[in-house]
Amino acid sequence: MAGTRDKDHALFEKAVDGARKLAQDRVAPPQRRIKPVPRHAQREHDRTMEEMLTFVSEDIDVGTGEELLYFRDGVSKNWLRQIRRGRFAIERELDLHGLTVEQARITLGAFLYEALRDQRRCVRIIHGKGLRSTARLPVLKGCVNSWLRQRSEVLAFCSARPEDGGTGAVYVLLRRAR
């Protein structure tokens, strides 16, 4: 056995001949993997936010009691009927009461982005009826009506049932995340 050990030792010495001792003999900890950033989705979100900040609509004057209704081409009439009757489970809710138009625009954009990212299909947005505004007009209601029509992830929306806010809120049906 001693002869085999000596041969092995000699082979090892020959193999490492010319090698230098490392100054640091510790192994670096593994690097944490960075979670991939969905750049396309972020660019789309940023582009939409920019459009929303510069967009001025002629449809902003919506009356307090007026019902909102919108659906994209290709959306089933059955889906529209179901959303109007409140048959979809509300998976998230956003209340815009007390926000300025600018704050509401940014908050709504972030809310829709997160809802789509989290694969939510139906959300409720409470915009209010404008009864406490200085002009006694539903400013946010008109803005929300306009903004939602611009968003590609919005398939349809309609005013909520009376028990869910009536004409002061909308149910929004979102497309599936890609």
Average pLDDT of the residues in 154-160: 93
> Does residue 111 lie within any of the structural domains?
yes
According to the model, what pLDDT value does residue 83 have?
84
> Does residue 28 lie within any of the structural domains?
no
Three-state DSSP state, 4: helix
According to the model, what pLDDT value does residue 1 have?
61
Contact present, 123 and 90 (Cβ < 8 Å)? yes
> Does residue 154 lie within any of the structural domains?
yes
> Does residue 22 lie within any of the structural domains?
no
> Does residue 56 lie within any of the structural domains?
no
> Does residue 86 lie within any of the structural domains?
yes
C-alpha span between 42 and 151 (Å, rounded)? 14
CB atoms closer than 10 angstroms to residue 52: 17
pLDDT in tens, 125-140: 999 887 766 666 678 8
> Does residue 17 lie within any of the structural domains?
no
> Does residue 2 lie within any of the structural domains?
no
- Domain count for the chain, please give it: 1
Please state, in angstroms and as integers, the Cα–Cα distance from residue 159 to each residue in 47, 68, 92, 117, 141, following that order.
27, 5, 16, 24, 10
Of the candidates 99, 110, 116, the residue with the CA atom closest to the CA atom of residue 178: 116
Judge residue 172's burial from the number of C-beta atoms within 10 Å of its C-beta, 0-12 exposed, 13-18 middle, 19 or more buried: buried
Q: Is the pLDDT of residue 148 over 90?
A: yes
**Range name among 3-17, 19-33, 96-110, 143-157 with the lowest pLDDT average:** 19-33
For residue 132, the domain's CATH number is 3.30.1370.110
- pLDDT greater at residue 28 or residue 147: 147
According to the model, what pLDDT value does residue 34 have?
78
Contact present, 119 and 132 (Cβ < 8 Å)? no
How is residue 162 written in tokens? Answer: 């009376």
Domain extent for 88: 62-174
